[in-house]
Amino acid sequence: MDDSGVHVGGDAYGGVRLAARRARRGRTSRRSLIVSGSLSAVVLAGSGFAWAIPTYVSGKIASVDAGTVGSTERGAMNILVVGIDKRDNLTRRQQNQLHLGREVGQRTDTMMVVHLSEDHKQVTVVSLPRDTWIDIPGKGTHKINSAYQFGGAKLAVRTVQQATGLQINHYVEVNVLGFIGVVDSLGGVTVCTPVPINDPKTKLVMQPGTHELNGVNALAYSRTRATARSDLDRIDRQQQVISALLHQALSAGTLANPAKLGALVNATLGSLTVDDDLKKNLLGLATQLKDVSTDDVAFATVPLANVNYTTPTGESAVLWDKDAARDLFRRIGSDQPLTKPVVSASPKASPSASPKASALTIAPSRIAVKVTNGTAVAGLGARTRTALLASGFQVPSAAGNTATHDTADTIVRYAPGREDSARTVAAAFPGAEVREVAGADGIEVVLGQQHHDVKKVTVTVAASPKPSPVASPVARTATQNICR
C-alpha cells in the first residue's frame, strides 16, 4: 500500500518499485495535444525542443506496413490505436508481476478508433470492446482482439474497417512497458474510481476516491476487470487514464520543462510502432494539433446489444447493437460531434432535486451508492438497494441503519466534487434533499419517511437536428471526471 491508498501485488517490474511522484501544479500558456490511446500512451506533442529534430523523432519510432491508405496533411482521418501486451523484452518475473498471463501469441489488449475532424480541431476516440464477437476477414468469427494474433497489424486494420465502415488512414501500436514509462515520465497520473476495486488476480486494491498512480499501478488500474461491468468498466478506466494523461501534460508544465519534456518524448517515442506513412508525417500532424484542449476530445464506446453473449465455442463475448453502431460510425465519418448531453428519464423521474438545474451526464452504471435506512420501516433499506441495483446503480454493500429512526425526508449526501453523480442519484429520488457534505466518502442515500421510492433514470445525449431512429451514443469529453 503506497501513500495514495493503492496497492498492487509484487514489487513493480524487474524487482524495482516505482514510487508515484506528485506532479507540480501550474498552468502553462504553451498548449499541445497529447492524444493517448490504447493502454493509454500514444503521444502526439505539437511543441517542444525534440520536435525540432525530425531525424531524432524518426529514429526513435518503429514502423510497420499496416495496409493503411495514408492521408494528406489536411482533412479528416481515422487512426486505429491498439495496445499490445508484447513480452519479447520481459523476463518471466516481470510477466508475473505485471500479470500478463501465459497465452500463446500476441493479442490486442485494447483497440480504439481515433477520428480527427476535417479541421483537426476535434478528436473523437471510440473504444472497441476486446471481447467483441465479429467476423475477421478470412478467419471466420472470433473475438476482435484475435485479429492481430491471426494476421498482425494488416488484419487488425482490415477487421476494423469491415466492422465500422470507416477507412483507416493510420495505425498506431503501443506496448506495455512504453505505457509505464510514459506515466512515470509525467510524474504519475491522477485518477478517480467511483467504486471500490479488489482484484485477486493483480492484487490491485483501491477504495473509492482520487488516487495518484505510478506507471505500474496505472497499468493495473487500466487492465483490471474486477468490477461489476467487467470489460465495459475497464474501457471507462482506460479512457479516464487517457484523459488524466492529457490533463497532466497540459497542466503540469510538462511542455515548458525541457527535462520533463525530454523524458516524456523519449518514453513515448520508444513505445510506439506506427504505419510507414504516419512516421513520415508525424511532426506535421502534431503541429496541427497543438491547440487542441481536453474539451475538444470526446470519448465513446461502441453501443452493445448483448453484453453476456455465449459464443458457439463457449466463450463469453459481447455483440454490437448493429443499428446504433452503424449510426455512431456514420456520425463520426460525417464529422458530427458526439458530446451534447441531455437527460431522458421516466415521467416521474425529474432531475429537479439535483444540486444544480443542469442536465445529467453520469450514467447510473458508473455510480456507487451507499444506502442507509433512516426510518423505522423494517426492510426499507434492503428493498431500496434492490431497486437501485435494478435501475443500474452500483450498491456494493448491504443497507445500513441510522442510530435514530426519525428521518423525515430522504437525503442524498455527496462528497465535494461528486455533484454530477449526485444529480443522477437525486433524479432517482424525486423530491429528496441534496446535501454536499465535507469529508463524506462518495454518495450516500439516507432514506426518510418521504421521497424514498426509486424512479428509473436514463442518461443519453442530445439528438441531432434530424433525429435518427436509433439512440444517440453516450459520449463525454476528456475534461469530464467519471467520478462526478
Tens of pLDDT along 160-215?
A: 999 999 889 899 888 767 778 778 878 888 888 888 888 888 788 988 888 889 88
Asked if 409 and 433 touch (Cβ cutoff 8 Å), the reply is yes
The boundaries of every CATH 3.30.70.2390 domain in the chain are 342-461
Closest residue by Cα to residue 113 from 191, 35, 219: 35
Identify the band that residue 59 occupies on the pLDDT scale cut at 50, 70 and 90. low
Is the pLDDT reported for residue 394 higher than 90?
no
Task: Take residue 483 and report the three cell numbers written for it.
Answer: 467520478
Pairing status of strand 140-143 against strand 369-373: unpaired
Q: CA of 402: how far to CAs of 373, 385, 436, in Å?
A: 6, 15, 18
Is the pLDDT reported for residue 440 higher than 90?
no
Pairing status of strand 197-199 against strand 204-206: antiparallel
Model pLDDT for residues 38-53, shown as the tens digit of each residue: 333 333 333 333 344 4
Is the pLDDT reported for residue 105 higher than 70?
no
The boundaries of every CATH 3.40.630.190 domain in the chain are 49-339
Return the pLDDT at 407: 92
| Comparison of pLDDT for 108 and 297, the residue scoring more | 297
Identify the band that residue 317 occupies on the pLDDT scale cut at 50, 70 and 90. very high
What pTM does this model have?
0.62
Return the pLDDT at 9: 46
d(Cα 311, Cα 320) in Å, to the nearest integer? 14
Q: CA of 6: how far to CAs of 135, 217, 246, 255, 314, in Å?
A: 39, 8, 22, 28, 35
Asked if 35 and 45 touch (Cβ cutoff 8 Å), the reply is no
The overall average pLDDT reported for the chain is 74
All residues at 6 or more sequence positions from 188 whose CB lies less than 8 Å from its CB, including other chains: 20, 21, 22, 23, 212, 213, 214, 215, 218
- May I ask the CATH architecture of the domain 49-339? 3-Layer(aba) Sandwich (3.40)
186: left (phi over 0), alpha (psi -120 to 50) or beta: alpha
Closest residue by Cα to residue 427 from 448, 410, 442, 441: 410
Say yes or no: domain 342-461 is CATH 2.115.10.20.
no
